[in-house]
Amino acid sequence: MNSSLLFIPDISGFAQFVQNTEIEHSQHVISELLEVLIDANTQQLKLAEIEGDALFFYKENEIPSQEKLLAQIETMFTAFYSHLKLLEKNRICPCNACATAPNLELKIIVHAGDLQFITVQSKRKPFGQSVIEAHRLLKNSIVSNNYALISNSVSNRIGLSDNYRSMLYEFDQGEDIYDNKEIRYLYSNIDKTKLKLNAFAIPETVDLKCKPCIEVNKDFDVSAPKLLEYITNYKYRHYWVKGVDKFEYNPDEVTRLGTEHVCVIDGKRLNFTTITKEVQEGELVYGELTHDAPIHALYQFFIIKPISGSSCMLTVEMYPKAKSLIKKILVSLVMKRAFRKSMQASLHNLQNAIAEGVMINE
C-alpha cells in the first residue's frame, strides 16, 4: 500500500480570539478564513473534516512532489494572509472580533502514512495511527504559531533536506515524543512579509461635495456599536425595513466595504454595495450605494454619534442622483418626500424593534 498524504491547516489563536471577542462576528471571520483555505486547495486534496478552527485534508496513496507540496503550502499561507489584509483594510465594524482578526496566524501540518477508512453516516473518513499522529503534531515544541511542519515520513519521500532555503522557507529539524514514540520533522517559520499577497479592491471614500438632499435624525437608547450592528447585519433588516419581499446576502460574511446585498421588491432586484465617507472623530458610519433605483443612483449613509455608553444619535443622509432633467424634477417634487417618509418609518420600526428586544433574541 502506498503512503497517503495528511494535510492540516490550523488557525492559530482561535481559542483566545473566540473567547475575547463578539461571538457572531468571530464565527463569521473563522468561517470566511476556512472557505479561503478550502478554495486555495490546488493539489486536489480531499477534505475529510472541518475541525473547528482547522481543516483535515488527505490525498490517498499519493505524495505530491517537493515542488508541488511547497507551492501548495505557500498558496494557502498567501490566501490566508491576503484575506486578513482585506478584512483589515475594508473593515467598518469596530467590534473586537473584526479589529483583532489580523492577529490570527496559520500553521500547516504535513504527515504521511498508511490509511484505513471508516464509514460514519454514509461518509468515508480516514482512520488509523497516521491520522492520530498528524493531529498530535499540532501540539509540538515549535516556538511559533505561524509555520509549516513536514514530518520526516514526508520529507524523506520528497527529498526535502533540513538545509533547504528559499525566499520563504528556512527549514530546521525538530522532534517530539508522543505515546513514547519519537516523531521527527522539518519546520519553517513563515514570514508573512515575504508573501506576495493577492490584490483586492479597496473602495474609495465617497465625497459627494454637496449637502444631502434628505437628512433624517433620531435618538436611540442603545450604544453606538450595537446600533451599527443592527443596521449592518442584514438578518435584522426585515424588522425595520418594510415592503421588501426578500433580502439576499451572505449570512457567513461580516459586512465590510465592498460587500453586497440585494433587496427584492415586487420582483425587482435592487443591488446595494457597502461604501463609506469621512465623518467626525468618534462617529461611526455605514453607507450603501445602488444604481438600480428609479433614478441614476442613490447614496445613503447612516452616521452614528455616541451620546453616552448606552445612547446615540443616528443621522441618515440620502443623496439621490439623477442625470436627466425630467428625473431631477421628479426627485425634487415627488421622490424627495417619498424617500424621507420611508426612512422616517424605517427608523421608527428600528427603534421599536430595539425596545422590544426582538433582534437581541433572534
pLDDT in tens, 58-110: 999 999 999 999 999 999 999 999 999 999 999 999 988 888 899 999 999 99
Residues 31 and 148 in one domain: yes
Residues 188 and 218 in one domain: no
Domain of 97 in residue numbering reads as 4-194
Is 206 among the domain residues? no
Is the pLDDT higher at 350 or at 360? 350
Cell numbers at 317, concatenated: 443622509
Residues 271 and 161 in one domain: no
Number of domains in the chain: 2
Is 136 among the domain residues? yes
Is 202 among the domain residues? no
Partners of residue 246 on adjacent β-strands: 264
Q: Binning pLDDT at 50, 70 and 90, where does residue 361 land? A: low
Residues 8 and 117 in one domain: yes
Residues 190 and 145: their CA atoms lie apart, in Å, by: 9
Q: What is the pLDDT of residue 21?
A: 64
End-to-end CA separation in angstroms for the chain:
52
Residues 22 and 168 in one domain: yes
pLDDT in tens, 296-318: 889 999 999 999 999 999 999 99
Query: Element (H or E) spanning 33, and its range?
Result: helix 23-39
Give the end of a domain, one of 194, 228, 244. 194
Angle between helices 66-89 and 23-39 (to 10 degrees): 150
Q: What is the pLDDT of residue 362?
A: 62
Concatenate the DSSP letters of all residues of 37-62 into one string: HHHT--S--EEEEEETTEEEEEETT-
Domain of residue 300, CATH code: 3.30.530.20
Residues 166 and 229 in one domain: no
Q: Could you tell me where the DSSP H helices lie in 138-197?
A: 152-158
pLDDT in tens, 174-226: 999 998 899 999 999 999 999 999 988 888 899 999 999 999 999 999 999 99
Residues 42 and 30: their CA atoms lie apart, in Å, by: 21
| Chain mean position to CA 340 | 34
Residues 18 and 121 in one domain: yes
Residues 286 and 78: their CA atoms lie apart, in Å, by: 29
Residues 50 and 161 in one domain: yes
Four-CA torsion 59, 64, 67, 70, nearest 10 degrees: 30
Residues 164 and 293 in one domain: no
**Mean of per-residue pLDDT scores for the chain:** 92
Instruction: Tell me how far apart the 2 most distant CA atoms of the chain are, in Å.
Output: 83
Domain of residue 161, CATH code: 3.30.70.1230
Cα distances (angstroms) measured from residue 131 to each of 71, 161, 165, 177, 180: 23, 24, 29, 16, 17
pLDDT at 142 over 80: yes
Residues 178 and 50 in one domain: yes
Give the end of a domain, one of 144, 159, 194. 194
Residues 58 and 126 in one domain: yes
